[in-house]
Structure 1
Amino acid sequence: MSHVQVSPGLRALRGSAAIAGVATFGCGETPGFTDMELLAQAAHRAVADAGLRMSDIDGFCTASASATMWTMPAIEYLGLRPRYIDGTMLGGSSFIAHLLPAMMALQSGQCNAVLVCYGSAQRSATFGRREVVASRRFLDPQPYEMAYDPMLPLSAYALVASRHMHQYGTTRRHLAEVAVAARAWAALNPEAFARDPMNIEDVLASRMVSDPLSVRDCCLVSDGGGAYVLVRAERARDLPNKPVYVLGNATAVWNRQVSAMHDLTTTCAQESGANAFAMAGLAPKDIDVVQLYDAFTINTLLFLEDLGFCDKGEAGAFVENGGIAPGGRLPVNTNGGGLSCVHPGMYGIFALIEAVRQLRGEGGARQVAGVTTALAHGNGGTLSSQATAILGLEQAL
C-alpha cells in the first residue's frame, strides 16, 4: 500500500480529529419507535457520552435510505442549528464516508463538534417491507437490472459469491465459517440480537434463499440507532473519554449496479483501503481489530482480500478453523456484525462504534487485549460504495 501517494493536506489531517462519544439505542427489536426517535435517542446518548450538550453541536451528518432530504427533519427534530451539514447518501458506507469531510470542516474552523447519527425501525415498522422495497426502487432506479425483478440486494451478493467460488474454489463451508465466527462474537455481546449457539452444520443445513446464500449467510433485519461525535484532537483530550483519533479515511465508488462491476470478485474497497492506509501511514499488519460490513457472508471474504489482510482468493482459507472468531488469527466483527448483532437497513455506523468501543477497552467479555489500532469498513448498495476508516489511540499517532 506504500505506492499510494497522499497529498500533504490529507497527511496533515491525520489524527487532527478524534471521536469523543459513541452510543447505540434500540438494537434488535424496539416496537413503538420511529426511525427518527431511534436516531434521536442514540444522538443524545452519544453527545452525553462525549461530555457535551446538544447546544455544543454545530456540525451534523446523517443519511436515510427512505428519505431524500433526511438531514432537514433530523435537524429540526433535534433542535440544532448547525454550521456544517452533510447528507451524502452512499448506502451503508455513508457514516464512515462522513468522517473525512467532517474532519475538514473541523480543521477549517467551520464547526467545533460534529454529530453523525442514524436510526431505522426496519424490523418493527408498521410500514410494510414490500412498500419499503418499492419506495427504494423508486428513489434509486437501476434500469438495467430492475427490469428483470431480481431479489435485490440478496441476489447481487449471491452472484458475487458464485463467481468467487468458481474463480477461487471458495466453498459454502468457508462462507459458513464467517457466520459462525460472527455468532461466536455475538454470544459475548449482551447487545447482540442473535446469540443462540450456531455451528457450521447449522449454516449448511439452513434454508437456501439465493443460491449459494442461505438464510444464515444473510444479515439480520433489526431496529437500531447509532451515533458518534467528532471533535478536534486538542479538544478531545479535555473530554471525559479516551480520545479515538481518525488516522485515515477514504471512500470509493466504481459502480452502482452489480452488473456494472468490472470484476465480480474485486470491490472498490481496494481503493478506499489503500488510500486510508496511506493517509494513516499504516498497513494491514498494524491493525489490531477489524470491523467489516457483513451484510452477507461473502462480504467479509471480499473485504479481507481487498483491504489487504490476505491475497485475492485466499480469504476462504484465512477464515477456516475459526480464523476470525474469538481466539483466531484476526479479531473480525467483535460485536457480532450485521450477521448476528444488529442490521437496521444500514450497518456502517455500528462497525465504527464497535471499533471505538474496542479501542476504549469497553468490550466486556468480547474485549480484545491490547488494542491500539482498529479498522472500520462500510459498504453501500450492491458492492457499490466502500468507505474505510483507520482509528487509533494516542500510541498510534
Structure 2
Amino acid sequence: MTTTEAVSSENGSARPRPTGIYDGAVTEPQTPITDRARDYLNLDSLFTAEELAQRDKVRAFVDARIRPNIAQWYEDAHFPVEIAREFGDLGLLGMHLKGYGCPGRSSVEYGLTALELEAGDSGLRTFVSVQGSLAMSAIHKHGSEEQKQQWLPGMATGELIGCFGLTEPTAGSDPAGMVTHAVRDGSDWVLNGAKRWIGLASVAQVAIIWATTEDGVRGFVVPTDTPGFTATPIEPKLSMRASIQCDITLTDVRLPADAMLPNVVGLKGPFACLNEARYGIIWGAMGAARDSYETALRYMLDRKQFDTPLAGFQLSQRRLTDMVLEIQKGILVALQTGRLKDAGTLHPQQISFGKLNNVREAIAICREARAMLGGNGITLDYSPLRHANNLESVRTYEGTDEVHTLIMGQAITGLPAYR
C-alpha cells in the first residue's frame, strides 16, 4: 500500500496524498535516477559551464517555489501574480534582450530556462514567454526609444506585466483576417475590435495590440487602464489552469499618436515576436516531457506488482526507452536551433521544425507516462496528465500542427499550400 498524508486545500478540506512522488513533497526514500537514465547521451557535455549554471539556477527555483505549489495552483485555477517579481529578480524576463534593464543572455540560456520552467508547469513558462518573447520583444524590436525607456525596465523586473493581442475570435491561424482596426481622429488613434486567448491581459499594465489601419497592420502600446479597454478571463478551462487567458474588447480606445510602434508595418511585426515565442516552446515542451518521464520512471522503480518492480517488466522498459529516445532527440533539436539563433543564421521555417516535432512528441510522452501510473495518474499528485493537458494549449498556440506542417511543406517544395 502507498502511504499517504493529508493535504489541506484553501477551503479547509483535506485529501489523501501519496508520499514519495516527484512533485516536491517527497517524504519517503526513492530509488535514485541514474545519470544514464537522466541524460542518456550525456547531452550536458554540449553546453558551456555558463549555460549549465543558468539551467541549474532555474531548476533550483522550480524545485523550491513551483513544485510544492503547482498542484494547488492548477486545481484552484490560480496564477500567482507575485511570481512575476521573483522571475524578474532571477533575470528571466526579456532575458534574451539587451539594454533597458534586460539581462542580454544567449538564446541557448533562454531555451534551458524555458525547459526548466515547463518541467514545473507550462503556465509558468508561458508567463515568461508572453512577457519577454511577445510583449517586451515587440517594444524592443519595433518601438521608439521613448517607448523602450518607458516600459522595458519595469517589465524586466516584473513590476509591470505585459500582454500581446493578436489572435481574435475569428482570426487565429489566419491573422490577416483580423477585424480590429485603428482610425485617425485628429492626432489620436481610436481602436475598436476584440482579441481572444490573450495571456495575462487581466493582470497586465500594458498591452501590445495589433490592428488594421489604412496603411496596413500596425502595433499599438496600450495602457490597460485606458477607457474602453476590457479584459475578461476565459473560464473554466481544462488546460493552462495555473495561467490566465482572456478575451479583450476594445471600444473606442483613444490613444495618442506616439502609442503606435513606429518601426514596423504589416504582419512581419507580430510574426517576428511569434518566432521568439515559438523558439522557447521548442525547449519548454521537452521540460514537460522530461518531468513526465522521470515521474513515470520513479514510479516504475518504486512500485511492485507480482513481487517485481514495475520497471523490471519488458513492456515498462519499452515505454521508458521510447521516451528517452524522443526526449534526447528533442533536446538535440532545441540545442541546434538555439545555436543557429545565437549565430544569427536561424530561419523561421527551421523554428517550425522544432515546434511541430517537440510539442507533438512531448504530448505523446506525457500521455504514455500517465498510463504507466495507472489510476494514480489521473490525480494531481502526479504531473503527467497536468502536463499533457497544458500541452494541448501549447500545441495550439503560436501555430497549430497544421500551420507548421504547411510552413515546412512550403520550405521543402517551394510551393505554398495554405489555400
Same fold (TM over 0.5): no
The two structures have a TM-score, normalised by structure 1, of 0.25
The two structures have a TM-score, normalised by structure 2, of 0.24
Larger of the two Rg values belongs to structure: 2
Structure with higher RCO (Cα < 8 A, 6+ apart): 1
